[in-house]
Structure formats: C-alpha cells, structure tokens
C-alpha cells in the first residue's frame, strides 16, 4: 500500500485525489493548511468520491481516506508527498511537515517553479534531502478546473509530455523508480521525461524569461494607469525590441552556463538552450516565420489570442482593462524565476544588465524590492528563492549543498 499525502485543496488536488484514490494500492490523505479548507472539502466529498471527467475519455471516481487541516495528523511512514499549490505556499508546508516526514520519503511539487530544491533543502536540511527524493514537474500535467467543489472536476487538456526532475541522482535507476511511481499517480498520460538536474531546469525556466520580459517590453513606454478597451495580445503584441531583449537575456543565461561549465566541467547542463532554440524545439511547425524571436512570437499558432493578464475596471459605465501585476507572471515568475537566475549569475560573477532592466521595472510594478544598487539585497529578498536568500555567498557552497555536483 503506497501512502500518499496530497497538499493543497484546489483544482489540481481535486484531480489528484480522484485519480490516486481510485487505485486499490494507495492510501490517500489530503492536507490543506488554508484556514477552514480541510473541513469544507471533507464535508463536500460524497461517498462515491470525487468524479474526474477527463479529455482521455476516462471517468474516474476516487475518495481520499482522510482530509486533514493539521500537519501533526499526517500518517506515519508516508511514501510520497505531492504539493499542487502556488509556489509561495511551499515553504509553509515544508516547515509544517518537517517533524512528521522521514528521510527516504519522495517529496515534490507540480508545478515546481525555479528553486523548489533550494527551498526543500533549506527547510528539510541538506542531509535529509540527500537521502530522500526531491522532485518537481515543470508544469501541472493537465489544465483542470473544479466544476462542483468536492464533487466534480474536469481535466480540460492532458499534456503529452512533462519534464520531471529528481534529485539527488544516484544513477538512472532511482530516477526511473521515482518516475514510475509518479506515473502511476498522474494517470496514463503525460509521459514523464527525466530532466538533467534542478540547476538546468531552474536556469531554463522559460516562464521566468518570457513573462516578465514580454510584459516589460510591452508596457515600458506606456502609462500603465490608462485603461485599455480590450485586453492587449501578449505574444502577438510583442515588438522587435522585446524580441531582442529576450535574446539578450537568454545570452546572459548562457554566459552563466559557460562560467559554470568552465569551473565544473562534468556538470550536466545539456538541456539548457537559448530561448530561440527552445521555441523551435517546442513549437516547430506551429511557427510561421522563424526569422527571429520577434517573428516567432508573433506567428506561433500556440500563442494566438493569448492576452496580457488584466483586471476589469468600470469607466463611465463601460468595462475597461488595466494591467494585473498581481498575476503569477509577476508574483511567481519573478521571485521563483528570474530572481533565482539573477542570484546564480551574481554567485558566478556574470554581469546581467538586460535581466536587471527587466527586474527593476517589474519590481517597481509589483511594489517589491529585490535588486538594489546592482545586488540582490532588497527587503523582499526573503520572499524569493534566490540563493542569497538562503545565505549562499559563494558558488562552491551553493553547488555543493544543493547536490548539483553529486552526479556530475
Ligand atoms: P488553485 O488556485 O485551485 O488552488 C489554490 C490552493 O492553494 C487553494 O485551494 C489552497 O489550498 C492553496 N492556497 C492558496 N492561497 C493560499 C494561502 N494564502 N495559504 C495557504 N494555502 C493557499 O490552484 P490549482 O489550479 O490547483 O493549481 C495549482 C498550481 O498549479 C498553481 O500554482 C497554478 O498556477 C498551477 N497551474 C494550474 C493549472 C490549472 O489548469 N489549474 C495549469 C497550470 C498551472
């Protein structure tokens, strides 16, 4: 019997609860630390369980064995802990669970934005994590939404392939074992594709480059207090300057890669590419004009119609739109994304003037302070996953404590 702990209580937890509880070989507990959510969810789930309707034609029913609101009530000897939560809550869960999980457990996040491993190691300890399996999925395996709270959830789209990182690696067997276990839990699709290591994935986090930079490029010469009649297009609205800025920031990330490989030649960073290469690999023939990043953004079928995150406002009885800087493009892709990369650059001694332009603008829009006088020392650094926030001030200690050289 595999003992599974699911952390959270939203859309993704509904899907996971249904899928995993429908199996005969699992014991499932849901933990929500959000005040009142555990009671509400427990009361809402009917005897037959949560119904999950999905795009693969399966209709699944599963009822978790328990829904709890306190970490001290988690079962002993958990085999696997899955966070399906916004990343700003990960630390709270790790701190709460620390006394109740044993080394050897498999613990991870879907999605696990940049630096999930840093957060886990900081909170659970480097030795604990060396003897456990820390994993992250690059994204949620499905687009999903609750149709009826506690009763019915819909998977709108299942991804075909999702990258999974497992750390530390002790050869491929362990990787495969964890991937196999995870595979059982997320359903027959997507395929889980093992990635190089957390460092490569953190530096290749495409959202951390795309979202802040495209937002900066679009709004940089605009008055952000003037409402729009319609939400403006996100990718199709990018200009040539933005395409070049994305390219230059990606060059800065590749300079970090160069410096790291010079210092640690056996490090695996094969999956870290320029964003233009990532774009061609990910979208291929969906792209109409492959001349430059600018043309690729504006002719990628997969990006058609997607708009900037906005909030509605009423102006003289009419609905208008203002930028929503509280959206995850800023609240997650900056502190758990670009700031993490910027912190690694600082440790590696790599100058990042283009990244800094974007960070300085975004932090002003967010009302936060991360980068000050060219260094990550702002008052809001403690809410990020930058290495500096965890006290790392040398590249060697950062690489060693976080096990990046273990499998090199
Ligand atoms: P959700 O919004 O449905 O779930 C939010 C859950 O997070 C809440 O139920 C609560 O348990 C917890 N939470 C939120 N704020 C909290 C707080 N202040 N304190 C404690 N707990 C808090 O999210 P979801 O749709 O289940 O997605 C989970 C993650 O996956 C999110 O980061 C989301 O951005 C990402 N994601 C979701 C989808 C999707 O289709 N649903 C797709 C891609 C990525």
Per-residue pLDDT of 48-69, as tens digits, reads 999 999 888 889 999 999 999 9
H or E stretch covering 303:
none
Alpha carbon nearest to ligand 1 atom 14, residue: 86
Choose, from 27, 122, 211, 403, the residue flagged as catalytic.
Answer: 211
| Lowest mean pLDDT, pick from 169-183, 213-227, 315-329, 371-385 | 169-183
> Do 47 and 110 fall within a single domain?
yes
Average pLDDT over residues 171-195: 73
Ligand 1 atom with the smallest distance to the CA of 11 is 26
Pocket test for ligand 1, best of 11, 141, 149 (most atoms within 8 A of CB): 11
Identify the residue whose tokens are 């008055």: 223
Residue 241 within a domain: yes
| pLDDT score of 393 | 94
Q: Structurally, how many domains does the chain consist of?
A: 2
Residues 253 and 368 in one domain: yes
Shared-domain flag, residues 68 and 125: yes
Q: Is the CB of 85 under 6 A from ligand 1?
A: yes
- 164-189 burial, b if ≥16 CB within 10 A, otherwise e? bbbbbbeeeeebeebbebbbbbbbeb
- Provide the pLDDT for residue 40: 98
Same domain, 128 and 246: no
185 in the same domain as 71? yes
* Greater model confidence, 15 or 160: 15
pLDDT in tens, 348-397: 999 999 999 999 999 999 999 999 999 999 999 999 999 999 999 999 99
Please identify, among 195, 215, 232, the residue that sits at the C-terminal boundary of a domain: 195
Which helix (DSSP H) or strand (DSSP E) does residue 115 occupy?
A: none
The residue that leads in pLDDT, 145 or 403, is: 145
Ligand 1 centroid–CA 75 distance in Å is: 23
Quick one: residue 284, left, alpha or beta (phi over 0 = left, psi -120 to 50 = alpha)?
Answer: left
Residue 12 lies in a domain: yes
How far lies 75's CA from each of 5, 44, 66, 213, in Å?
8, 22, 10, 44
CA-nearest residue, atom 43 of ligand 1: 140
Residue 408 pLDDT grade (very low, low, confident, very high; cuts 50, 70, 90) = low
pLDDT-based confidence at 160, cuts 50/70/90?
Answer: confident
Residue matched to tokens 């999905």: 54
What pLDDT was estimated at residue 172?
A: 46
Name the residue at shortest CA distance from atom 42 of ligand 1: 143
Question: Which domain CATH number covers 75?
Answer: 3.40.50.720
Query: Cis ω on the peptide bond leading into residue 144 (within 30° of 0)?
Result: no
Distance CA 343, CA 375 (A): 9
137 alpha carbon to ligand 1 midpoint, in Å? 15
Mean pLDDT for the stretch of residues 94-116: 92
Question: Is 125 found in the same domain as 32?
Answer: yes
What pLDDT sits at residue 270?
Answer: 87
Indicate if the pLDDT at residue 193 is higher than 60: yes
> Of the candidates 143, 165, 195, which is a domain's last residue?
195
Q: Do the Cβ atoms of 190 and 161 come closer than 8 Å?
A: yes
Helices and strands: H and E segment counts in the chain: 15, 16
Name the average pLDDT for the chain.
92
Same domain, yes or no: 65 and 153 = yes
The verdict on 143 and 288 lying in the same domain is no
Q: Is residue 406 part of a domain?
A: no
Give the pLDDT of residue 84. 96
User: Mean per-residue pLDDT for 162-187?
Assistant: 73
- Residue 286 sits in the same domain as residue 166: no
- Return the minimum-mean-pLDDT range out of 45-54, 68-77, 190-199, 283-292: 190-199
Q: Tokens in use for 64?
A: 């978790």
In a domain, 189, yes or no: yes
**In which band, very low, low, confident or very high, does the pLDDT at 190 lie, cut at 50, 70 and 90?**
confident
Indicate whether 79 pLDDT > 90.
Answer: yes
What's residue 373's pLDDT?
A: 96
For residue 407, is it within any domain?
A: no
pLDDT band at 161 (very low <50, low <70, confident <90, very high): confident
pLDDT of residue 157: 84
- Cβ-Cβ contacts under 8 Å for 367 (sequence gap 6 or more): none
pLDDT of residue 170: 52
Tell me, yes or no, if 273 is annotated catalytic: no
CATH number at residue 256: 1.10.1040.10
Over 50: is that where the pLDDT of 235 sits? yes
Q: Which domain holds residue 31?
A: 2-195
- Backbone φ and ψ of 339, nearest 5°: -65, -35
Q: How far is the CA of 284 from the centre of ligand 1 (A)?
A: 30
Lowest mean pLDDT among 70-74, 123-127, 269-273, 317-321: 269-273
> Is residue 329 very low, low, confident or very high in pLDDT (cuts 50, 70, 90)?
very high
186 and 93 within one domain: yes
Res. 171: pLDDT tops 50: no
């Amino acid at each position: 019997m595999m003992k599974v702990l699911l952390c959270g209580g939203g859309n993704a937890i509904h899907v996971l609860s249904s899928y995993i509880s429908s199996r005969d070989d699992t014991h499932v507990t849901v933990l929500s630390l959000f005040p009142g959510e555990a009671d509400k969810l427990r009361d809402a789930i009917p005897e037959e369980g949560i119904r999950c309707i999905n795009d693969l034609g399966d209709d699944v029913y599963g009822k978790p064995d328990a829904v709890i609101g306190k970490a001290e009530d988690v079962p002993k000897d958990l085999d696997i802990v899955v966070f399906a939560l916004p990343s700003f809550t990960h630390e709270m869960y790790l701190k709460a669970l620390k006394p109740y999980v044993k080394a050897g457990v498999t613990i991870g996040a879907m999605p696990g934005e940049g630096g999930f491993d840093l957060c886990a190691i900081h909170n659970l300890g480097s030795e604990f994590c060396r003897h456990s399996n820390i994993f992250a999925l690059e994204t949620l395996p499905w687009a999903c939404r609750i149709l009826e709270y506690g009763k019915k959830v819909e998977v709108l789209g299942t991804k075909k392939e999702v990258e999974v990182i497992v750390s530390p690696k002790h050869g491929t067997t362990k990787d495969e074992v964890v991937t196999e276990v995870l595979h059982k839990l997320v359903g027959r699709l997507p395929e889980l594709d093992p990635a190089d290591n957390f460092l490569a994935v953190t530096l290749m986090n495409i959202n951390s480059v795309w979202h802040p930079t495209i937002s900066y490029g679009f709004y940089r010469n605009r008055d952000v207090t003037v409402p729009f009649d319609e939400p403006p297009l996100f990718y199709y609205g990018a200009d040539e300057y933005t395409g070049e800025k994305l390219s230059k920031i990606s060059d800065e990330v590749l300079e970090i890669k160069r410096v790291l490989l010079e210092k640690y030649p056996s490090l695996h960073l094969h999956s870290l590419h320029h964003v233009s290469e990532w774009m061609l690999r990910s979208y291929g023939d969906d792209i109409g004009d492959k001349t430059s990043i600018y043309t690729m953004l504006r002719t990628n079928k997969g990006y058609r119609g997607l708009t900037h995150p906005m909030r509605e406002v009423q102006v003289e009885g009419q609905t208008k739109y203002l930028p929503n800087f509280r959206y995850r493009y800023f609240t997650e892709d900056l502190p758990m994304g670009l700031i993490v990369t910027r912190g690694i650059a600082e440790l590696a001694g790599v100058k990042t003037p283009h990244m800094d332009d974007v960070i300085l603008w975004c932090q002003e829009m967010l009302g936060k302070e991360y980068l000050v006088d060219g260094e990550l020392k702002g008052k809001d650094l403690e809410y990020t996953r930058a290495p500096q926030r965890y006290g790392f001030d040398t590249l060697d200690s950062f690489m060693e404590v976080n096990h990046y050289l273990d499998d090199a």
